Amino acid sequence: MNGPHDLGGQQGFGPIAPERNEPVFHAEWEKRALGITLSCGAFGAWTLDESRHARECLPPATYLSASYYEIWTRALEQLLKRHDFVTQAELDAGRSLYRGREPKNVLKAEMVAGVLARGGPCDRPVGTPPRFAVGERVRTKNFNPETHTRLPRYARARAGVVEAVQGSFVFPDDNAHGKGENPQWVYTVVFDGPEIWGEGGDPTLTVSIDAWESYLERA
């Protein structure tokens, strides 16, 4: 979707503000927000793609004025309600008022090291060979779905070159919406700066994205 998250190439956000010797967390609540989010991910009730979509569905004014862990927390509340683990009344009260859904897994302390070390690989085999080859010229599609996609706006309807076939991976555009993993080949596609940014684009710049096969057509 063309949400507030799709920031590539937008202007007006001002300078970067690197912080010298930045701490891992800036507040205690950030630690808890990270841990709660990962713990709830372990329920197995939603996918990483669905949680990304929940974040990008936040209203633009909220998304752009929130710190990152605030974005996570607000999106997590939506997911917990959507999947019947909690109600809004419970979130408001901060206590249990209702017997909601039981999760498949509850992450316990002794499981943390193993779960983090395993991660969640999302490469999956597909039955067909890659449609595009390294060195081939391709064009990204022009679409504007209201649903989740990982083709950023700045890289739509642009011609580039396939630099690598990266393997086959879960397709987020479907997986975010409970339509299954439907894996596809993923390609690193390289664009010249001026192809994306047009007149005045830096000629020494190249930008690449990792694009699922259905985002691409032959140029």
Task: Give the count of residues interacting with other proteins (CB under 8 A).
Answer: 92
Tokens of 83: 């999947």
Residue type, position 70, single letter: E
We find the least distance from the C-beta atom of residue 207 to other proteins, in angstroms, to be 5
Site string for other proteins, 19-58 (x = CB under 8 A): x--x-xxxxxx-xxxxxx-xxx--x--------x--xx--
HSE value, Cβ hemisphere, 13 Å, CA-based, for 50: 19
Interface with other proteins includes 219 (CB under 8 A)? Answer: no
Q: Which is nearer to other proteins, 21 or 128 (CB)?
A: 21
Q: How many other C-beta atoms lie within 10 A of the C-beta of residue 211?
A: 25
List the one residue from 2, 59, 60, 64 that touches other proteins (CB under 8 A).
64
Between the two ends of the chain, the Cα-to-Cα distance in Å is 24
Report the site for other proteins in 145-184 (rule: CB under 8 A).
150-152, 154-155, 166-167, 169-170
User: In which order are the strands placed within the sheet that holds 216-218?
Assistant: 184-192, 159-169, 137-140, 216-218
Interface with other proteins includes 8 (CB under 8 A)? Answer: yes
Rounded Cα distance, 163 and 203, in Å: 19
Is there a contact between 185 and 167 (Cβ–Cβ < 8 Å)? yes
List the one residue from 57, 78, 81, 107 that touches other proteins (CB under 8 A).
107
List the one residue from 61, 104, 109, 199 that touches other proteins (CB under 8 A).
109
Interface with other proteins includes 15 (CB under 8 A)? Answer: yes
Interface with other proteins includes 143 (CB under 8 A)? Answer: no
